[in-house]
Amino acid sequence: MAKGNDMKRFLTKYALLSLAAVCGNASSLDLNGIAGGGNFNVSVKSFAEMKFKTVYKQQFDYSCGSAALASLLTFHYNDKVNEQSVFVDMFQYGDQEKIKVLGSVDVLR
């Protein structure tokens, strides 16, 4: 009886590992078998995608000021803005001399 259970566990693990190795795209899987088969899609997100779900990646500023402010306004205060528009406004209405000296728009100084 124990050998039968061990063999069943082995075959189950082997089947799952084989399935994982064969699937090139983690979000789609084609199953064609005796029961008719079909295409099954599963929404998959990487940890990197989940990390930046509610945070804008820094693109326009050497400090993270405009990306941080855009993230707060968009995801916390529901005021949908992007980093570029925040950067342009901060540059346009900020202290021009300080921006030229620092080389970036810094919200903490």
> Is 64 among the domain residues?
yes
Provide the domain count of the chain.
Answer: 2
- Domain assignment of residue 7, yes or no: yes
Asked if 37 and 51 sit in the same domain, the reply is no
Residue 97 CB coordination number (10 Å) = 8
**Range 97-105, long-range pairs (CB < 8 A, 24+ positions):** 103/62, 104/61, 104/62, 104/63, 104/65, 105/61, 105/63, 105/65, 105/66
> Is residue 21 very low, low, confident or very high in pLDDT (cuts 50, 70, 90)?
low
Instruction: Give the predicted TM-score (pTM) of the model.
Output: 0.52
Chain mean pLDDT for the chain:
77
Res 101: pLDDT: 76
Tens digits of residue pLDDT in 43-94: 778 888 888 888 888 887 777 888 889 999 999 999 999 999 998 888 888 8
**Shared domain check, 81 and 63:** yes
Tell me the residue range of the domain where 88 lies.
47-102
Asked if residue 107 belongs to a domain, the reply is no
Residue 52 lies in a domain: yes
Residue at 8 is within a domain: yes
Q: Which two tokens stand for residue 10?
A: 């082995």
Q: Does residue 37 share a domain with residue 73?
A: no
Most confident listed range (2-6, 18-22, 89-93, 103-107): 89-93
36 and 62 part of one domain = no
Same domain, 51 and 98: yes
Mark whether 98 and 65 lie in a shared domain: yes
User: Is 91 domain-assigned?
Assistant: yes
